[in-house]
Structure 1
Amino acid sequence: MLKVGVIGLGYWGPNLVRNFYHHPEVEVVAICDLNPANLQKIKNKYKDIPICTTNYMEILKNDIDLVAIATPPETHYSIAKNCLLADKHILVEKPFTMSSKEGEDLIKIAEKKNLKIFVDHTFVFHPVVRKMKEIIDSGELGEIYYFDSERINLGLLQKGVNVIWDLAIHDFSIISYLFPNLSFVKVQAFGSKHIHPYYEDIAHVILESKDGFIAHIHVSWLSPVKIRKTIIGGSEKMLWWDDIHPFEKLKIYDSKIEIDFSKEDPFHPTYIKGEITIIPVENYEPLHKEVDSIVKSIKNNTKHQVDGYEGLKIVKILEACNKSLLNNLKVKL
């Protein structure tokens, strides 16, 4: 049995406890949170977890294989480092770290100790994202032109990061998974602070690649309605993902524009609007798949899809967004 400890039982930690607890090859042996009420709530639900503490260093003294870290982002580096130094594999909630320097340091320690780093980019394991990759890889969409995402809601404002680090990070991880060979060369971020005293609560991010592919991401904590939609446009067809829709989440639009450049006056485009196909998608909890993949990676000593290097890649994009916001310019990646 893989022995697991979870540090941080606020918003996301209880989900980690639940999924690890119910995995047949895992034993959750320790939980930790600074708030005794959070600890007691989990202890009441999972009465056989033996170690419950407000001091995470107590967890590290025990025989534990993996520590899952679901604490505020600014604490990730120090906690993760201590876990690695105590010879524990780590799963770190997004964002991996608050700087690329911190991420590089953790990777260096893990490699020296032959330990694994997992970064909790849960959307990589989402059934719709998996189906989207299958469709993109099949070539059905043709040449991919753009990725356009809107991820907005009323809150939840975060204490230690801006809305890009909180929400757009999901889209960065999705893009990285869908297009692993895509290399962005520039990023520009626009944002403003209205309610949050320190950080941007609404933002737009534009990522540019060498071959003309562009990604636009709109994120906000200040929307009266919750919207989670993504469009991926190709030369032949287009994908639409509405994560809020109860059952018609993914559609393919057989829509495109054709121009006959052989004519003397070619600019008389033909607008083709064909069938709309609703794509059936499996129904499962992404975190369940993620936890299972982590367990398999440790047991079989195999490379994981979202390791420290993948987490670092996303942190570098986030850093570039911060630089762009600060200086109001495009930043090279």
Structure 2
Amino acid sequence: MSNHNNNFLEEALDENTPTERLREISRKGNKAIRNAIARNPNTPPDILVEYFYEFPAHVLHNPALELILLENPDFFNELVSNNPFVFNDELPLFFVEWASRHPKESIRESVASSTQTPRHLLAFLAADENDDVRQKVAENHKTPSHSLGQLAIDKNKNIRISVAENPCTSSECLGKLAEDEDSDIRRKVAANENTPITTLEILARDKSGMVRLAAVENSCLSSETLENIVKGLIALDINIIRQIKLPLVFFDWAVNHLDRKIRICVAENQHTPQNLLTKLVDDKVAAIRLTVAKNPNISKSALKILTEDENDAIAFVAALQLRQKLEDYYFDDEENPF
């Protein structure tokens, strides 16, 4: 730091430095000087408002704050106007308490959405009269469990959805939400990885297809239940695993199945992910390897392996497919750099 800046810093730290001098050096100083000015009791209020964006905690700990508030009761509002995202910072409790009781809903929302907000204030805001404020509390991962339980029976559907989505919602609370009459809420419960397995098993048999799908895609659902669901689909129509874009877990199950009819169906499905098709490149059944070679979703690297297949027909088809993919690459205006 230059001697010039050292002198400015000494003045900024000195509580006897006149207000106008602090205003003057505030325009010239670096971050360390601005920091010191934010803490100096002689700093003019308008400079404190300006510095609230950079040093909110220091401004709120300024020794002159009580006097400033006596002269200007609206000072806190002026601070927030200059830094509306301040509640994401760690702030003095008195300021967060003031904001949690603010008449403006947008300010209470900001407090409710911040993970820095103390739990007892989130519990207080969980009973707010405004739906948007309560929803922010329901979304907050720091909200106390008992408050989430309170919001789980809120009359507002969107608030119940937010509770169902919250990864910190208790298993007990999710179990109750699984009985909600609204299928959108049950679907969110089915997708939550905190949902108890027993509840997931129930939701996997829900009357709503969207709820069942969400349960199937939850990694916590038992493999036995997954298998029963897939078997039910196959019993209805085996073309389902041949033609439809299924959940990844279904594709994975089918690719590793002992029944060649199931493996050949998933080898033919154009929605089967490339990494799973690649698994079938080494299948012992030639018809499956041939089907993989004909699948338009097969990767070039997998086709290159199949061009060396022991079966001449498979190797030939793979070579044709690989050549076509390479031609499409080189003559595609979007991909061809030339």
Q: TM-score, normalised by structure 1?
A: 0.26
Higher relative contact order (CA 8 A, sep 6+): 1
Instruction: Flag the structure with higher helix content.
Output: 2
Larger Rg: 2
